Amino acid sequence: MSDIIQLKQLTKSYGSKMVLENIDLSVPHGTIVGLMGPNGCGKTSLMKILTGMINDYSGEVLIDGHPVGPYTKSVVSYQPDRSYLPAWMSAKQAINYIADFFKDFDKEKALKMLAAFQLEPGERVKSMSKGMQEKLLLLLTMCRRAKLYVLDEPLGGVDPSARQFIMDTILGNRPEGSTILLSTHMIYDMERVFDYALMIGRKQILLYDSVANLEAQGKTLNELFQEVFPYVG
Amino acid sequence: MLGKLLKNEFIHTGRMIVWLLGGGILAGGIGALVTLNQNIQAGQFLVAMLWNFLLILGAMLIEVLALVIILVGTNRSLFTERGYLTFALPVSTMEMLFTKFFTNVVLLGAAYIETGALMFVAFSNFRRLIRNASETIAAQAGDMGGMAEMGGLGNALGLASFQDIVTFAAYLLGVMLVFLILAMMVVLFVFTITHVRPFQAKPGLWMPIFFIAVAVVCQQIVTRVSDLADIPIKLNLMNGALGEEGISINLVMAIVMLALSAALFFLTNWLLKRKISLK
């Protein structure tokens, strides 16, 4: 199986502060990878590099065999950890906008999901609650038939029932053969869905293995996380 | 993809200033109607004068507001949360930059043309109002010396010929376009470089500094190169012929300004492609 993500000697720093140093990584097609690590360890930076939001780094980044650019952006569906839609845009306008640029966007499915999410097509982003905005962003991300989904903290700050709803939406709409890279702190809730666990911290990849291998060692992801990142009070 | 980018950019940026341009056209139309009445009474005269005065203020306001709306919109769509949408699109940075540049030049150009047209309408109205009023005064005063002289004031303010107006407008448009192209590229370059490390932390602080520095450098380059190759060219704007008669245009200066704009375009594109990190 070929790799959807290939990183070679990836280094990223913010001024004098280095967050990723000489990272090498290969993520195979068709897997769900959990990206974990403490706050500020470089999870979001890594995701931004993969999606072309950060361009000042060194090393090689290949998505589906291509350097980050128009092609990779056409096969990557990215949900950042914040709302990016203009306040004046309505849900329908947002759907039309994404459909205009991404050939893999399923507009019909998006309109059905809009109704299922109880979102009004004409409602503007500025009048939506935070939860409604998150639903709309999730819809825009998951209605694409992308090769790689990069989801930055999609479960952050939501209640358990909303968390279940978001996970069902992600897993239920994921095309066969696609890869999901999902960052989260909700390790306990998520370990059942991950194929691979990727833990980064101290500028390095501290753990990258299949969840099956890790389970064979008799440890849960939660326990491993606490071993890799011991809490210093 | 460039076509889609341009379409969406015109829709999204245009929707913000369409009401501004529409309001200006409406106000100009009303100003013209108010003034057209030849037998205007004293009260109407004051209203018409006031309306045209407000029209001049409004025209200047349109220019300023259009500039603010377009520049703030550009900055937001590239370098704030909305940048996550812009930079996720499957387009090259060059397409992205060209779209911003082209849309801004067209919309700002439209706003400037409207401002110029409104100014022209307002000043023409003033002239017509004064002339009509002075003719009325002259007729009423008969041969009462001083009053008749005052009436002659309006007649002295003759209308420019249509040919003169077209020539001046074409010259002004050409000059405005070249300046607008360079100014827009300076702005886009400054916006971009102030969102590159280490300036990214306080772009608002660095923007005026970079803007002044880049503007001074550009002005120095344009002046010095133009002085080195000072070739005065007379262009007859009515028939497009180069020769002895017409408005003097420094084509070398225009070419240098366009070359600088192109250099800034490629430099800005490089920054967008290699140096930008969205917060």
Q: Which of A16, A51, A53, A150 to mutate to test the interface with B (most CBs of B within 10 A)?
A: A53
Q: Does B274 touch chain A (CB under 8 A)?
A: yes
Cα nearest neighbour of B2 on chain A = A101
**pLDDT number for residue B241:** 61
Q: How many domains does chain B have?
A: 2
Residues B46 and B74 in one domain: yes
Which of B159, B189, B223 corresponds to the end of one domain?
A: B159
> Which pTM was predicted?
0.85
Residues B87 and B190 in one domain: no
Give me the interface pTM, i.e. the ipTM.
0.90
Distance from CA of B27 to the nearest CA of A (A): 27
Residues B165 and B153 in one domain: no
Which of B159, B190, B212 corresponds to the end of one domain?
A: B159
CATH class of residue range A3-85+147-228: alpha beta
Cα nearest neighbour of A83 on chain B = B81
Q: Name the 3-class secondary structure at A28.
A: strand
Q: Does A17 touch chain B (CB under 8 A)?
A: no
Q: Do A55 and B276 touch (CB under 8 A)?
A: yes
Distance CA A221, CA A37 (A): 12
Residues B105 and B242 in one domain: no
For the residues A176-196, what does the mean pLDDT come to?
A: 88
Residues B56 and B184 in one domain: no
**pLDDT number for residue B32:** 72
| Residues in Cβ contact with B34 at an 8 Å cutoff, skipping those fewer than 6 apart | B44, B47, B48, B51, B52, B125
Q: Does B88 touch chain A (CB under 8 A)?
A: yes
Distance CA A38, CA A41 (A): 6
Which of B159, B186, B203 corresponds to the end of one domain?
A: B159
| Residues in Cβ contact with A96 at an 8 Å cutoff, skipping those fewer than 6 apart | A107
Closest by alpha carbon to A59, among A13, A14, A22?
Answer: A22
Domain that holds residue B19: 1-159
**pLDDT number for residue B263:** 97
pLDDT digits (tens, 9 = 90+) for B195-242: 998 898 899 999 999 999 999 999 999 888 877 776 666 666 555 565
Helix (H) or strand (E) holding A213: helix A211-216
Residue A6 has pLDDT above 60, yes or no: yes
For the residues A73-98, what does the mean pLDDT come to?
A: 93
Q: Does B202 touch chain A (CB under 8 A)?
A: no
Of B90 and B19, the structure prediction assigns the larger pLDDT to: B90
For the residues B171-194, what does the mean pLDDT come to?
A: 91
Residues B89 and B198 in one domain: no
Q: Say if residues B89 and B7 touch (Cβ distance below 8 Å).
A: no
Tell me which chain B residues have a C-beta less than 8 angstroms from the C-beta of A102.
90
For the residues B78-91, what does the mean pLDDT come to?
A: 93
Share of chain A above pLDDT 90, in %: 62
Cα nearest neighbour of A103 on chain B = B90
Distance from CA of A75 to the nearest CA of B (A): 9
**pLDDT number for residue B188:** 96
Q: What is the bridge-based pairing of β-strands A148-152 and A17-28?
A: unpaired
Residues B22 and B44 in one domain: yes
Residues B100 and B208 in one domain: no
Q: Do A56 and B82 touch (CB under 8 A)?
A: no
Distance from CA of A53 to the nearest CA of B (A): 6
Token duo for residue B192: 């971009």
Residue numbers of A between 60 and 119 with CB closer than 8 Å to B: 69-71, 73-74, 78, 80, 82-86, 97, 100-102
Please name the member of A56, A70, A85 whose beta carbon is closest to the beta carbon of B92: A70
Q: Do A55 and B274 touch (CB under 8 A)?
A: yes
**pLDDT number for residue B231:** 65
Residues B71 and B151 in one domain: yes
Q: Does B91 touch chain A (CB under 8 A)?
A: yes
Residues B6 and B83 in one domain: yes
> What end-to-end distance do the CA atoms of chain B give, in Å?
26
Tell me which chain B residues have a C-beta less than 8 angstroms from the C-beta of A78.
84, 88
Distance from CA of B84 to the nearest CA of A (A): 6
Residues B179 and B143 in one domain: no
Q: Which of A106-115, B55-64, B160-169 has the lowest mean pLDDT?
A: B160-169
**pLDDT number for residue A167:** 86
Domain ranges of chain A: 3-85+147-228
Confidence of residue B43 (pLDDT cuts 50, 70, 90): low
Q: Compute the count of residue pairs across chains A and B with CB atoms less than 8 Å apart.
A: 67
Residue B79 has pLDDT above 60, yes or no: yes
Residues B180 and B227 in one domain: yes
- What's the distance, CA B260 to chain centroid? 20
Q: Do A55 and B92 touch (CB under 8 A)?
A: no
Q: Say if residues A183 and A151 touch (Cβ distance below 8 Å).
A: yes
Of A186 and A141, the structure prediction assigns the larger pLDDT to: A141
Share of chain B above pLDDT 70, in %: 79
Residue A97 has pLDDT above 80, yes or no: yes
